[in-house]
Structure 1
Amino acid sequence: MKIAIVVKEHIETKGGLERYAVTLSRGLTARGHEVHVYANRWDVDESLIFHYVPCVKWLNLLKVITFPANARKHLAKSSFDLVYSLTPLYPVDIYRVGEGIHADVLRARFPNPLKRFLKRLTPKHRSILAIEKRLFTKGNYRAIITNSKLVKERLNQVYDVPFQDIEVIYNGYDDKLFNTNTRAYRGNLRDTYGIGDKEKVLLFASNDFKRKGLVYLLEAIAFLNRRDIRVRLMVVGKGKTAQYKRIAERLGILSQVIFAGAVTDIERY
């Protein structure tokens, strides 16, 4: 089959969605399919055919609307057996909801109802919600993939997407990369970050601290402290580090939290 995969960044070390795109592309190629990747940025891979999709990056609103608009124009120039998108785009054959629906993203990022309402009125969020509404309209997709039953239910509740149109496929993992052999890294990492051999350490890995609930984890560690249970927290990923350091300091746990930043070798952690 001749397959098009659409994703803003086809970069294995960027994040979960991007790693998924790379794994999917390589897997389909290994099975004999001709895979074309439509992206704005990518890691070179000679087994894949890449098409550059321009997008404006200096203004959030334009960034949101220019990538799908340009991707649509580029896709129209070719004929594919299947168009699989990992970024909001319509019409497509398959769309994978990798980051939840935007209404829920807003709810997680802005718990205050008034602030959330005002955010929904901004051009950026209005555009995202409008694109999403069109995307989930019957006729703009053949099938939708989610990575959880919760998102499947939310698609039905918010956009009235029929359950039979949604397939839940849980995230897999690369057992050649993530396995018990990674324990060999523990000693060096503990030495690097000044963690004692017997200290208990929790790992938080994400490039979206707010949506993934880092603040609640920090509060949980403070709660454990009050119960005389001490743990360390390793935060790996790109985010508003200064903001969360202030929260940790306010909670009295800053000395227990390590912000490692973005890494390219997450398996070591």
Structure 2
Amino acid sequence: MKVAINTLNFRQGGGVERYILDLIKGFHDEQITPRIYTCKADATLAENRWIELIKTNLSLIPRKLRHRFLSSFVRQHRQADEVILSLFYLYCDIFICGGNHKGYLRSQNKTANLYERFIKIPFEQKVLNECKLVIAHSKLMKKELIELYQVPEQKIQVLYPPANTAKFNPISAEQRQALREKLGFNADEIIYLFPSTGHHRKGYALLKNYFNHADLPIRLVVAGTPVKESKNVVSLGFCKNMPELYQAADFTIMASSYEPFGLVGLESILSGTPVIFSENMACLEVLQNNFGFTFSRDDVASLASAVKNSINLVKAGKARIDNPHACLNYDPELTSHIEQLLQIMKNL
């Protein structure tokens, strides 16, 4: 069996781009060299040595139409014995779904514009109809695909995404104290990390309002898109030291209005830091035991209660997670994920 991945842009990045590079690493460890179909590629990536790159030039095609043209190219040039995966809405045999536009619009109470209504959403439907199997990254995603796109339930399998357990892991109390001093976190303040580049969807306004009105020893530390600093809010801007920030923080907090999974939750837990998440976030499907606290976005009192409970946990010296895997109900290792994915492909 040969493996291929269809992607609009083969590059380093967050979310989907990072997941594709993880898959390539996992396939390489299994002595599999995947073909990568794309219209744009970063020639400096180390992963280039582990792939066969098949590239077409779509630079003259409007960006919003490239899905269609790349899909046509792959359909024409695919090998007969390969299984094609895609994490974008592109032609493939197995579509790995981490999000959908109808679900996003519904969560934001938005109406589709002309492009979304006549091009984007119909092409999502086309991909879902034509692929042989859909892998959903959460039960929430599976539910939305059934309800909003009428994908048959038997065509969807839930497979949670992997996390980098080598990069995100706990450190000793002594190391953590030194790290907090290095980052400028005061010993008498409780740090709530908010990692985000999409503040509106991640619920920044709700959190900022609460923290700025709270008369407590708490600080909201925003890592990502810069924000204006205020009473209890600090902005670090875009950061490349996320493992250190997770390790140094007391809690990771997020109030997303829509989160089809949320790898942030796993990365925080694996770093030994509990979470405070709005109860609609899909990554809560895989969290168990003493992972932290949840709250309702529609009830500020529940957020206040979660924060106060977290303060009490810190004061009791019980806020760190010594055994992160005990807080997860699945194996987040890349090797396990690749093993399950290959089995799915063999059964296709």
Q: TM-score range by the shorter chain?
A: 0.7 to 0.9
Give the structure 1 partner of residue 159 of structure 2: 169
Q: How far apart are 1:190 and its partner, in Å?
A: 4.8
- Which residue of structure 1 aligns with residue 122 of structure 2? 130
In the alignment, what sits opposite 1:266? 242
1:218 shift after superposition: 2.5
The separation in 2 between residues aligned to 1:198 and 1:215, in whole angstroms, is 25
Q: Is the 8 A contact 1:15 1:207 kept in 2?
A: no
**What is the deviation of 1:5?**
1.0
Percent of aligned pairs with the same residue? 24
Q: CA deviation at 1:68?
A: 4.3
1:54 shift after superposition:
4.2
Pairs aligned (count) = 239
The residue type paired with residue 53 of structure 2 is F
Shift of 1:74: 4.0
SS at match of 1:73: helix
Alignment RMSD: 2.8
- Provide the residue aligned with 2:205 in structure 1: 215
| Structure 2 residue aligned with 1:4 | 4
Which residue does the alignment assign to 1:29? 28
Q: 1:187 to 1:72 in 2, by over 3 A?
A: farther
Check 1:235–1:130 CA distance in 2 against 1; reply closer, same or farther (3 A cut): same
Q: 1:6 to 1:155 in 2, by over 3 A?
A: same
Q: Which amino acid aligns with 1:50?
A: L
TM-score, normalised via structure 2 length: 0.61
User: Are 1:85 and 1:94, in contact at CA under 8 Å, matched by a contact in 2?
Assistant: yes
Post-superposition CA distance 1:31-55 (Å, at most 9, x none): 1222112342342321122233545
Question: Structure 2 CA distance, aligned partners of 1:145 and 1:179?
Answer: 27
Q: Which amino acid aligns with 1:47?
A: W
- For residues 182 and 121 of structure 1, do their structure 2 counterparts lie closer, same or farther at Cα, with a shift above 3 Å needed? farther
> What is aligned with 2:18?
19
- Tell me the distance in 1 between the aligned counterparts of 2:140 and 2:94: 19
- Give the aligned residue type for 2:23: L
Gap runs ≥5 in structure 2? 246-348
Alignment of 1:47-196 (within 5 A): 47-55=50-58, 62-79=62-79, 80-90=81-91, 92-98=92-98, 100-108=99-107, 110-111=108-109, 116-117=110-111, 120-124=112-116, 126-137=118-129, 140-181=130-171, 184=175, 187-188=178-179, 190-192=181-183, 194-196=184-186
| 1:187-266 map, 5 Å | 187-188=178-179, 190-192=181-183, 194-222=184-212, 225=214, 228-237=215-224, 239=225, 241=226, 245=228, 254-266=230-242
Worse overlay, 163-172 or 259-268: 259-268
Q: Distance in 1 between matches of 2:20 and 2:177?
A: 29
> 1:131 deviation in Å?
0.9
Paired residue type of 2:220: L
Aligned counterpart, 2:305: none
Q: What letter corresponds to residue 64 of structure 2 in structure 1? A: V
Residue identity matched to 1:36: R
Q: In the TM superposition, what is the alpha-carbon distance from 1:153 to its structure 2 partner?
A: 0.6
Q: Does the 8 Å CA contact 2:138/2:158 hold for their aligned counterparts?
A: yes
Tell me, in whole angstroms, the C-alpha distance in 2 between the residues paired with 1:148 and 1:262.
28
Are the counterparts in 1 of residues 103 and 148 from structure 2 also a CA contact under 8 Å? no
Paired letter, 2:125: K
